Structure 1
Amino acid sequence: MNTKPGIIGKKLGMTQLYKEDGTVQRVTVIDTSSLVVAGKRTKEKDGYVAVVFGLTDAKEKHLAKAQQAAFKKANVTAKRTLKELRCDDEFAAKFEVGASVNLADLFQPGQIVDTQGTTRGRGFSGVVRRWSFAGFVQTHGTHEYRRHGGSIGTNMTPGRTLPNLKMPGQYGNETVSVLNLKVARVDAEKNLLMIEGGIPGPENGLVVIRHGVKGRERKKR
């Protein structure tokens, strides 16, 4: 389990920055302006160590009474998104419940980080779109079979469809991790974190950013 220091943020989109040598780098912009520490988990009480982060302000009328009571007890503004990240005792000791997060204390330009997000959901899709199947031949009398996946079985033995075949189904809406990305810029005043490369997820999607496990830069193709 990854217990490296990390935070959550909201993906604003992508833009580009110019380096000193004039080359252009594409970056993903992460917003942490509404990020606060909503709670902590301790080994004595919970059996493990973690920090609970809250993101995006919410109206109390949209929350259950139990959630409202929890926020009031912690003296924290109601948040729409809560995410618990496991960590070590040293990292958890840096935060107090209700405090905001200073990006400059956690990330530096050039640092290697691991990111995680939820990909765009594309609904029920066929094999051509979901798995990039080539489809059937378009000529010589082909009817109603152009985008089919072909045979899914064998013969009397085993007499059934084998599991894990690439077939139509839900496409997207999966948790995907992208490792070894480099921090391009840290804007502590505006609470913006710019990371070189793409991060899975739509605009305003939830993103998790942690210190890199492997600690080496991602190879460029």
Structure 2
Amino acid sequence: MKGLIGKKIGMTSIFEANGKQTACTIIEAGPNVVTQVKSLESDGYNAIQVSFGDKKEKHTTKAELNHFAKASTSPKRFVKEFRNPDVQKALGESITCEIFTEGETIDVVGTSKGKGFQGVVKRHGFSGVGEATHGQHDRSRAPGSVGGSSYPSRVFKGMRMAGQTGNERVKVKGLKILKIFPEKNYILVSGSVPGHNGSIVLIQK
């Protein structure tokens, strides 16, 4: 597996020669610094740990400072481990968006936008109780019945009800890399990526 920690910049669209418009997301993919290299002999599995985003020293613990000092790099905010890496890098080396190629498909993991406490219509797509007749003036967005009375005398687990919406880990698979800008470490991927602008995402293949 090869991957990077990146930051979602925003969305745009590109046009092909035939006039077709494709919506795409701009991701700042790196540069990431290799802060640890794990091997089968010492750790039981092969992996590389990469970090992204600078952090002030006063907000960093002594243990973290020593960890990053081994890689001869400044403290970083985000750290991620990728197992069985396809790209072999030494401690302290940088990984940029050039590990990917245009036309390649990738998976992007991010945290979806939090929408707070929502009802069943917005959260699950319910259509409401039904017609606005027979005195149902306040039931158009209600969930309806949630359980039986004498049997089963309880509400089953997993019942779709109102609650916290969004703010979840989401993986979008099979996004195509449309263009790469090595000088800015930008990659353009087709479609949308979970999270708000400026949020941290994981790009993996």
Which runs of 5 or more residues in structure 2 are unaligned?
none
Cα distance, 1:34 vs structure 2: 4.3
Would you say 1:65 and 2:62 are equivalent positions?
yes
Q: Does 1:85 align with 2:79?
A: no
Amino acid at match of 2:60: L
Among 89, 99, 110, which residue is 2:93 paired with?
99
Q: What does residue 2 of structure 2 align with? A: 5
Residue 217 of structure 1: aligned partner: none
Alpha-carbon deviation of 1:5? 1.6
Q: What is the identity, as a one-letter code, of the residue corresponding to 2:189?
A: I
Aligned twin of 2:179: 185
Question: For the residues of structure 2 that align with 1:140 and 1:156, how far apart are their CA atoms?
Answer: 26
- CA distance in 2 between partners of 1:102 and 1:45 (Å): 27
Larger mean CA deviation between 10-19 and 145-154 belongs to 145-154
Structure 1 position 159 matched with structure 2 position 153 = yes
Corresponding letter in the other structure for 1:182: K
Q: Do residues 114 (structure 1) and 104 (structure 2) align?
A: no
2: CA distance between counterparts of 1:144 and 1:68? Answer: 58
Cα distance between partner residues in 2 of 1:36 and 1:100: 5
Partner letter of residue 122 of structure 1?
K
1:185-204 map, 5 Å: 185-204=179-198
Query: 2:25 and 2:12 mapped to 1: Cα distance?
Result: 6
Give the counterpart letter for 1:201 in structure 2.
Answer: G
Residues 33 and 190 in structure 1, CA contact (< 8 A), matched pair in contact too? no
How far off is 1:139 after superposition? Answer: 3.9
Pairing partner for 1:36 from 16, 33, 36: 33
Q: Which amino acid aligns with 2:120?
A: V
Instruction: Give 1:144 deviation, angstroms.
Output: 4.4
Contact 1:34 1:57 in 2 (8 A): no
Q: TM-score, normalised by structure 1?
A: 0.85
Residue 134 (structure 1) aligned to one of 118, 127, 139? 127
CA-atom RMSD in angstroms: 1.7
Q: Distance in 2 between matches of 1:142 and 1:65?
A: 63
- For 1:114 and 1:210, the matched residues in 2 are separated by 5
Q: List gaps (5 residues or longer) in structure 1.
A: 212-221
Determine the C-alpha separation between the residues in 2 that align with 1:76 and 1:29. Answer: 26
Identity of aligned residues (%): 38
Distance in 1, Cα, partners of 2:84 & 2:27? 21
